[in-house]
Amino acid sequence: MNKRTKGIMLGIIVGLAWGLDSTLMGVVGQNKIFEGFASSPLVSAFFHDSFAFFWIALTLLFSHQLKGSFELLKTKKGKAAAVAALVGAPVGMSAYLLAIKYATAPYASSISVIYPGVGAVLSYLLLKEKLSKRACLGIFISLLGSFMLGFKPTGDIPSTFGTGILFALLAVLGWASEGVIIGFAMKHIKNEDHIQAAPQQFLCLRYFISMISYGLVVVPFSGGTSIALDVIKSGLFLQFAGIATLGAITYLCWYKAVDLIGAAMGTALNSTAALWTIVFSIILFGSPINLHLILWGIVIVAGVFIFAIEPKRKKGE
């Protein structure tokens, strides 16, 4: 198996894993333990990211890289990654799970995948990074698809759909901002080029910051401590532990795919999670087939592919 084929296969696994992760988180979030608690997705996010940290830390422990993850906090780049994690995890992930709760997983997932395009726009405005005409076209197409999903939903949708769409857009802004912060740090921090850290170590740090912020701030201040204890007592936390393996697989495979085939193709394949969420919802839980959702979901993914994948230039161009 050559490098490109292996990278594409890993990219496909990323989409599958994140699509299944989103679908299962939506189902677990409907457990009766969470009834009557509006902020239940915040508790779900705490358990999801805590177990994701545990699984990734375990892999780094066996590869003797775990200590290096925490040593990154002593560096400027590590601190920047920690700040980005606060935006991407507690803000982005919390908003995403609230979007799943209020708008259902297929809609939340379909809209959330436009975050790379929004990140590119923010980078253009704030970091003065260039955007090609092709990238602008792809971003426009994906935003159009998202608008059509939110503006004209069809089928069996909850009464809280509008609220869910707003949370999905907040998740997009959170994840896009996370990338911009990292991009800013890497561009302006010049005296730490000697620091060698694996992407998995930054990922471990991200989930660690997420776990701490949820555990010490978000869950207690949202009144979710008693709910979290009920999740532990009931054994429901084991389901979160299982689902979190998918979250860990998503990022670990994504980093490896990016290494093999580049960030553009890796990001594009990651966007297929939107379609896999629809497929898993239909196959595993009998959700009705919604042609409107499928059509605009495909449009969104196509837009991401157009934005992310630039054609190779010929020599001399």
Alpha-carbon distance of 309 to 304, in angstroms, equals: 8
Q: What is the DSSP letter of 93?
A: I
Residue type, 162: G
The answer to whether the beta carbons of residues 41 and 29 sit under 8 Å apart is yes
Task: Flag whether pLDDT at 146 surpasses 70.
Answer: yes
Eight-state DSSP code of residue 261: H
**Mean pLDDT, rounded, for 281-309:** 85
| pLDDT surpassing 80 at residue 14 | yes
Report the alpha-carbon distance of residue 123 to residue 128 in Å, rounded.
6
Tell me the C-alpha to C-alpha distance, in Å, between residue 216 and each of 33, 174, 192, 243, 255: 21, 20, 31, 22, 29
H/E segment holding residue 182: helix 161-188
Distance CA 100, CA 122 (A): 25
Residue located via tokens 């896999």? 276
Q: How confident is the model at residue 22 (pLDDT cuts 50, 70, 90)?
A: very high
pTM of the complete model: 0.86
Q: Give CA–CA dist 103/95, Å, rounded.
A: 11
Share of the chain above pLDDT 90, in %: 37
Provide the pLDDT confidence category of residue 315 given band limits of 50, 70 and 90: very low
Contact predicate 115/172, CB 8 Å: yes
CA distances from 286 to 41, 109, 299 (A): 23, 18, 23
Candidates 267, 277, 271; CA nearest to 299 is 271
Share of the chain above pLDDT 70, in %: 91
Sign of the CA dihedral with 312 first, then 9, 296, and 143 last: negative
How many Cβ atoms are within 10 Å of 284's Cβ, its own excluded? 12
What's the pLDDT score for residue 183?
75
